[in-house]
């Protein structure tokens, strides 16, 4: 006879405890042998150890509870509220129920306007975060709109004067669905039919983007007439979710513990709640209705982070409940099992898949499989055997994307979409699945539009002659009717539409698409949702590009206000905004430190968040551009080659971004004196530019200038001229409305500007050969047609400078000075660094000195000092020229020492210029230096 453990002598405890450790370490099957092999010195402990082994085995089979359980208390004692109490517009009548979240009372309106009794839900005040309180009103309006025969209607909600929140719901007189089935000994088929009422209700709610989050038998009541009523739709969200993780882990844990038995794995992990979460809970309820118990309760409790792969197959029919089959329509176990094997097993398993993307993509799909099963039609869920399932798990990771495709393919057959909120999902596969689903829904919709379009336009157009623009308008206008109930797809299409309208410079259409996008988001999310802010930012950018500057700034300011209110500073949302705002507000001409700092800050934020999308890439390009303008060529090159590397590794890079990146690489390389690298990058950029938007587009023209510059700087004047001539011919064709085959006519305003710019370039090239009279008339004429303000206003002084040079060459210094005065006036207003401005001002001083009024020599000197001040420590040729001119002024004054010092500085500056520049600049300066030295050395 073994003594009880409590009577074990204390001196034997340590020995016993160590042996027990050893015993529990070894596998259950080996314990009998281990016990039998105990040596005689342990004879007094053998009995206790055997007991321990039995208990352990028993506890492993049925793990003891991990939380305390109390006997039920007295009803009256535990009710927080009391009958007769007034809460908001209601008076409590009798208590209906109580749960972890609060109490439910039957109540009546105090003002007597409505006689009906409602179920008044009274959540504990501390369960509602400040955010939830704020959202209560909006959620109420939203949920009150959810009306369905199988859903208990939410009538009203509010917060009483003492802070007690209340929700008035349709009072349902019914019985829990599981009890209802049990009491009526419903057959399997009848249970499935009843369950279909539940899926109908959930489908209707999902169509309105309302996820239940807490589906369980106690929330599913059945009336005496057999009508299912689902309670508490969307209310779990109101209670448990403050809208964002603004409190501590504590509230998250508190929220998480709602009803763990029905919670999907991602819900327990605190991950994103989606429609798939409800699919899972429905799977648990279905399992319970079909088998009388929840699936694998033991495996789900306790170990929080069980990997889905570790879980054994979920086959409903393998559960052998003792008395259940008899309750399910009076079946014996074998017949019950046969009823479940196959379809129902497979359906339940697919609903209960641990990974959300492996579940039914929508409740509708679950329901349709159940209907097919009832009608003896083949179902879409795969029949799963144990072997097959094991194989599937082994291949899970590799198949993550593939299974997403399977999901979307099965979706094509059914057509219903209700996967949403996946934007924030963390798992790659989940995202891929959601995207595949949406992409397919979008594709289906587009195909429908394509098919119908020829008919739609047959009356006024040739079939098939519909333009992309008309097509898009039709898609957008048809969204409400064709995709009602699929807001996520609508959002997706609107997002595509607004991007296209932006590219097509259709600001009204783009703004309308943005407004509709925001309206859909507002209906389902916070007014501070990042999607709303991003939409405002994008709309601001679109308006800016369409030259609606005032509207653009107002929209961007509104976005800024929301960013600050939402506490989204230093996030990608702010970085997007910074990029657009800076682009819209940077100086039209020149560059300053604020612009570089703003783009840099956005760039730093994008990097910190690992953001690498089109927006962050454009920001990097804007930054690189600003840096090249500022002479920070190394940093610009670093940024653009980084980006180039990433683009090169993509299978289908965005050619447009690639072309612009190559351009930046080319410019930076040229500034760093590397002609070959610059040339390769610019030529590739040109090919891509021509392949995407054609030669009339502004960024093609920019690359064109860089190419001409490079040719001039490397002494290939003829090649440069040929390039310019080709471009001029193109613009002449455009001006004369006779495009060559394959060319389209572009905006005449743009043609005027681009033609003038090319002409300026041509004049400068001819200048060096002393032949500028060939273009001067055309150039002078084109100046009159150029805008005096806006982005293009710099064209005027640049053209005037070219005209002035021509006039000088023609021996007409007065005419030249006239042009230079006008050009200088424009450029003197500019306080930021802009190389052509400095060049113009330097030339003005130089020419003034040589040909102008001697009295203005002092003014010229001041002008040159201003040029040097604006250039700062940048080593550019114009600085050397200014220094040389200052030397000449000093020499003219007879100040030989100062003159020599400036001349030496000029040549020193020139030696430090890394940028590629025409050799003629160097020889001209050297000649001037030599002439200066000669004049100083000559006897006066």
Partner 1 sequence: MPPAVTTVPSTGLDAEPPDLASLDAMWGHLYPDLKALARSRLRRAGNFTLLDTTALVNQSCLRMIESGGSPLEGRQRLQFLGYASAVMRSVVVDLARERMTDRRGNGEVLKLDVQAMGDLLAVNDDPLVIDSALTALRAREPRLAQVVEMRFFGGFPEAEIAEALGISERSVRRDWEKARVLMRMLLV
- Residues 89-108 touching partner 1, rule: CB under 8 A, are 98-100, 102
What single-letter DSSP state applies at residue 358? G
Q: How far apart are CA 372 and CA 375, in angstroms?
A: 5
The interaxial angle of helices 43-61 and 10-25, nearest 10 deg, is 50
- Neighbouring C-beta atoms of residue 396, cutoff 10 Å: 15
Is 450 a binding residue for partner 1 by CB under 8 A? The answer is no
Supply 91's token pair. 């008076």
Q: How far apart are CA 752 and CA 736, in angstroms?
A: 11
Q: How far apart are CA 857 and CA 863, in angstroms?
A: 10
CB of 157 closer than 8 Å to CB of 141: no
Residue 268 CB, shortest distance to partner 1, in Å, is: 11
Residue 343 CB, shortest distance to partner 1, in Å, is: 32
Residue 402 CB, shortest distance to partner 1, in Å, is: 34
Is 18 a binding residue for partner 1 by CB under 8 A? The answer is no
Stretch that binds partner 1, among 72-80, 382-390, 698-706, 916-924 (CB under 8 A): 72-80
Report the chain's terminal Cα–Cα distance, integer Å. 134
Q: How far apart are CA 91 and CA 108, in angstroms?
A: 5
Please select the residue that binds partner 1; options are 35, 38, 254, 525, rule is CB under 8 A.
254
- Residue nearer to partner 1 on the CB measure, 71 or 855: 71
- Residue nearer to partner 1 on the CB measure, 160 or 822: 160
Is 245 a binding residue for partner 1 by CB under 8 A? The answer is no
Is 130 a binding residue for partner 1 by CB under 8 A? The answer is no
Q: How far apart are CA 887 and CA 910, in angstroms?
A: 15
Q: How far apart are CA 749 and CA 740, in angstroms?
A: 19
Is 58 a binding residue for partner 1 by CB under 8 A? The answer is yes
- Residue nearer to partner 1 on the CB measure, 52 or 796: 52
What single-letter DSSP state applies at residue 360? -
- Residue nearer to partner 1 on the CB measure, 255 or 361: 255
Is 937 a binding residue for partner 1 by CB under 8 A? The answer is no
Q: How far apart are CA 276 and CA 359, in angstroms?
A: 7
- Residue nearer to partner 1 on the CB measure, 271 or 907: 271
- Neighbouring C-beta atoms of residue 866, cutoff 10 Å: 15
- Three-state DSSP class for 534? helix
Stretch that binds partner 1, among 20-28, 743-751, 844-852, 877-885 (CB under 8 A): 20-28
Is 81 a binding residue for partner 1 by CB under 8 A? The answer is yes
Of the CA atoms within 13 Å of residue 652, those in its CB half-sphere come to 0
Please select the residue that binds partner 1; options are 65, 322, 676, 938, rule is CB under 8 A.
65
Which residue in 535, 609, 531 sits closest to 572, CA to CA?
Answer: 609
Q: Which residues contact 455 (CB under 8 A, 6 or more apart)?
A: none
- Residue nearer to partner 1 on the CB measure, 247 or 495: 247
Is 68 a binding residue for partner 1 by CB under 8 A? The answer is yes
Please select the residue that binds partner 1; options are 33, 36, 40, 69, rule is CB under 8 A.
69
Which residue in 410, 412, 404 sits closest to 445, CA to CA?
Answer: 412
Q: How far apart are CA 220 and CA 208, in angstroms?
A: 20
Is 270 a binding residue for partner 1 by CB under 8 A? The answer is no
Active site residues per annotation: 214
Which residue in 791, 415, 376 sits closest to 584, CA to CA?
Answer: 791
- Residues 192-211 touching partner 1, rule: CB under 8 A, are none
Is 248 a binding residue for partner 1 by CB under 8 A? The answer is yes
Is 71 a binding residue for partner 1 by CB under 8 A? The answer is yes
# residues contacting partner 1 (CB under 8 A): 50
Is 51 a binding residue for partner 1 by CB under 8 A? The answer is yes
Please select the residue that binds partner 1; options are 11, 41, 74, 873, rule is CB under 8 A.
74
Please select the residue that binds partner 1; options are 162, 225, 650, 736, rule is CB under 8 A.
162
Is 481 a binding residue for partner 1 by CB under 8 A? The answer is no
Is 64 a binding residue for partner 1 by CB under 8 A? The answer is yes
- Residues 291-330 touching partner 1, rule: CB under 8 A, are 304
Is 729 a binding residue for partner 1 by CB under 8 A? The answer is no
Q: What are phi and psi of 175, to 5 degrees?
A: -120, 150
Q: Is 718 exposed, middle or buried (0-12, 13-18, 19+ CB in 10 A)?
A: exposed
Residue 283 CB, shortest distance to partner 1, in Å, is: 22
Interface contacts to partner 1, rule CB under 8 A: 4-6, 10, 13, 17, 20-21, 24, 48, 51-52, 54-56, 58-59, 62, 64-74, 77-78, 80-81, 98-100, 102, 124-126, 162, 164, 247-248, 250-251, 253-254, 257, 304
């Amino acid at each position: 006879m073994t003594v009880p453990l409590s009577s074990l002598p204390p001196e034997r405890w340590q020995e016993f405890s160590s042996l027990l450790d050893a015993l529990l370490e070894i596998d259950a099957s080996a314990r009998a042998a281990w016990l039998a092999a105990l040596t005689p010195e342990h004879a007094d402990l053998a009995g206790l150890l055997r007991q321990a082994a039995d208990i352990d085995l028993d506890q492993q089979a049925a793990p003891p509870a991990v939380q305390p359980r109390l006997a039920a208390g007295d009803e009256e004692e535990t009710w927080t509220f009391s009958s007769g109490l007034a809460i908001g517009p209601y008076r409590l009548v009798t208590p209906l129920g109580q749960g972890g979240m609060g109490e439910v009372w039957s109540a009546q309106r105090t003002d007597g306007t409505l006689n009906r009794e409602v179920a008044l839900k009274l959540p504990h005040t501390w369960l509602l975060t400040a955010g939830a309180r704020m959202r209560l009103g909006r959620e109420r309006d939203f949920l009150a709109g959810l009306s369905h025969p199988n859903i208990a209607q939410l009538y009203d909600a509010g917060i009483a004067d003492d802070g007690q929140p209340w929700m008035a719901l349709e009072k349902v007189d019914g019985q829990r669905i599981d009890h209802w089935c049990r009491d009526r000994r419903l057959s399997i088929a009848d249970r499935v039919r009843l369950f279909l009422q539940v899926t109908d209700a959930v489908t209707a709610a999902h169509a309105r983007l309302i996820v239940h989050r807490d589906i369980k038998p106690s929330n599913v009541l059945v009336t005496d007439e057999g009508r299912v009523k689902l309670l508490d739709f969307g209310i779990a969200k109101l209670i448990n979710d403050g809208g964002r993780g603004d409190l501590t882990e504590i509230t998250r844990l508190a929220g998480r513990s709602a009803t763990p038995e029905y919670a999907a794995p991602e819900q327990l992990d605190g991950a994103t709640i989606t429609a798939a979460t409800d699919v899972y809970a429905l799977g648990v309820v279905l399992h319970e209705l079909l088998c009388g118990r929840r699936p694998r309760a033991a495996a789900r409790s306790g170990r929080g982070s069980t990997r889905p792969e570790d879980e054994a197959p979920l086959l409903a029919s393998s559960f052998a409940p003792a008395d259940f089959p008899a309750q399910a329509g009076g079946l014996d176990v074998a017949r019950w099992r046969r009823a479940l094997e196959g379809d129902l097993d497979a359906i339940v398993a697919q609903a209960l898949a641990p990974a959300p993307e492996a579940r039914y993509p929508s409740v509708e799909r679950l329901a349709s499989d159940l209907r097919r099963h009832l009608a003896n039609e083949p179902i879409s869920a795969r029949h799963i055997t144990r072997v097959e399932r094991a194989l599937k798990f082994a291949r899970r990771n590799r198949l993550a994307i593939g299974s997403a495709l399977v999901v979307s393919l099965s979706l094509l057959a059914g057509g219903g979409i209700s996967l949403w909120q996946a934007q924030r999902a963390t798992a790659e596969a989940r995202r891929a699945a959601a995207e595949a689903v949406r992409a397919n829904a979008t594709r289906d919709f587009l195909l429908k539009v394509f098919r119908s379009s020829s008919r739609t336009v047959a009356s006024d157009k040739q079939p098939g002659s519909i333009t992309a623009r008309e097509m898009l308008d039709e898609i957008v206008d048809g969204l409400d009717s064709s995709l009602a109930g699929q807001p996520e797809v609508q959002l997706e299409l609107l997002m595509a539409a607004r991007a296209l309208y932006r590219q097509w410079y259709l600001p009204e259409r783009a703004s309308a698409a943005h407004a509709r996008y925001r309206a859909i988001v507002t209906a389902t999310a916070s007014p501070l949702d990042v999607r709303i802010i991003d939409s405002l930012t994008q709309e601001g950018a679109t308006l800016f590009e369409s030259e609606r500057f005032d509207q653009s700034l107002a929209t961007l300011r509104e976005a800024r206000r929301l960013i600050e209110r939402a506490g989204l500073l230093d996030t990608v949302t702010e970085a997007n905004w910074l990029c657009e705002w800076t682009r819209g507000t940077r100086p039209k001409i020149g560059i300053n430190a604020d612009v570089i700092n703003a783009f840099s800050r956005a760039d730093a934020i994008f990097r910190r968040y690992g953001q690498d999308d089109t927006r962050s890439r454009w920001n990097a390009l804007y930054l690189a551009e600003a840096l090249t303008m500022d002479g920070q060529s190394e940093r610009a090159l670093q940024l653009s080659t980084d980006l180039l590397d990433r683009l090169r590794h993509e299978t289908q890079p965005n050619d447009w971004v690639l072309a612009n990146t190559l351009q930046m690489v080319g410019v930076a390389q040229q500034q760093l004196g590397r002609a070959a690298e610059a040339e390769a990058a610019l030529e590739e950029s040109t090919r891509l530019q021509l392949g995407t938007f054609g030669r009339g587009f502004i960024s093609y023209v920019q690359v064109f200038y860089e190419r001409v510059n490079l040719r001039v700087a490397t002494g290939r004047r003829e090649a440069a001229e040929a390039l310019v001539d080709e471009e001029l011919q193109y613009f002449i064709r455009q001006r004369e409305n006779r495009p060559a085959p394959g060319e389209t006519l572009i905006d005449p305003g743009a043609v005027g500007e681009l033609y003038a710019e090319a002409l300026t370039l041509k004049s400068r090239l001819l200048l060096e050969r002393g032949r500028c009279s060939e273009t001067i008339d055309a150039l002078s004429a084109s100046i009159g047609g150029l805008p005096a303000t806006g982005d293009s206003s710099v064209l005027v002084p640049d053209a005037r400078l070219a005209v002035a040079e021509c006039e000088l060459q023609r021996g007409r210094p007065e005419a030249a000075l006239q042009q230079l005065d006008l050009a200088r006036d424009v450029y003197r207003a500019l306080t930021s660094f802009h190389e052509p401005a400095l060049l113009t001002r330097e030339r003005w001083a130089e020419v003034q000195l040589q040909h102008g009024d001697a009295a203005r020599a002092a003014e010229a000197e001041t002008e040159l000092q201003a040029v040097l001040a604006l250039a700062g420590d940048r080593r550019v040729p114009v600085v050397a020229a200014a220094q040389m001119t200052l030397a000449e002024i000093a020499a003219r004054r007879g100040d030989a020492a100062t003159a020599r010092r400036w001349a030496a500085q000029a040549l020193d500056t020139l030696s430090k210029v890394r940028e590629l520049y025409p050799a003629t600049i160097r020889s001209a300066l050297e000649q001037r230096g030599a002439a200066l030295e000669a004049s100083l050395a000559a006897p006066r």
